[in-house]
Amino acid sequence: MPSCPECENNLNVEVDELEEGDVVACDECGTEYEVVGLEPLELTQVDADDEDEDDEFFEEDEEDE
């Protein structure tokens, strides 16, 4: 079972059921990771700030219409 790089808690995921692009979250600290590789399992931390900026940009576009 993979562990969270932030808090070292076990991630509650079924590795066999994961696909590239899936997002998993740590139950202990809430950090989200995107699956970027399967064999071996590779995770990259999802940056919440980038998502917020994208949402703000999308909202601005809607207001212009």
pLDDT band at 64 (very low <50, low <70, confident <90, very high): very low
Cβ neighbours of residue 58 closer than 8 Å, sequence gap 6 or more: none
Q: Does the predicted TM-score (pTM) go above 0.75?
A: no
pLDDT for 8-25, tens place per residue? 999 988 889 999 999 999
Please state which CATH number belongs to domain 15-64: 2.20.28.160
How far is residue 42 from each of residues 1, 4, 12, 13, 22, measured CA to CA in Å?
13, 12, 15, 13, 11
Q: What type of residue sits at position 42?
A: E
- Taking the domains of the chain in order of start, what are their residue ranges? 15-64
The span from the CA of 32 to the CA of 14, in Å, is 16
Overall average pLDDT of the 22-49 stretch: 89
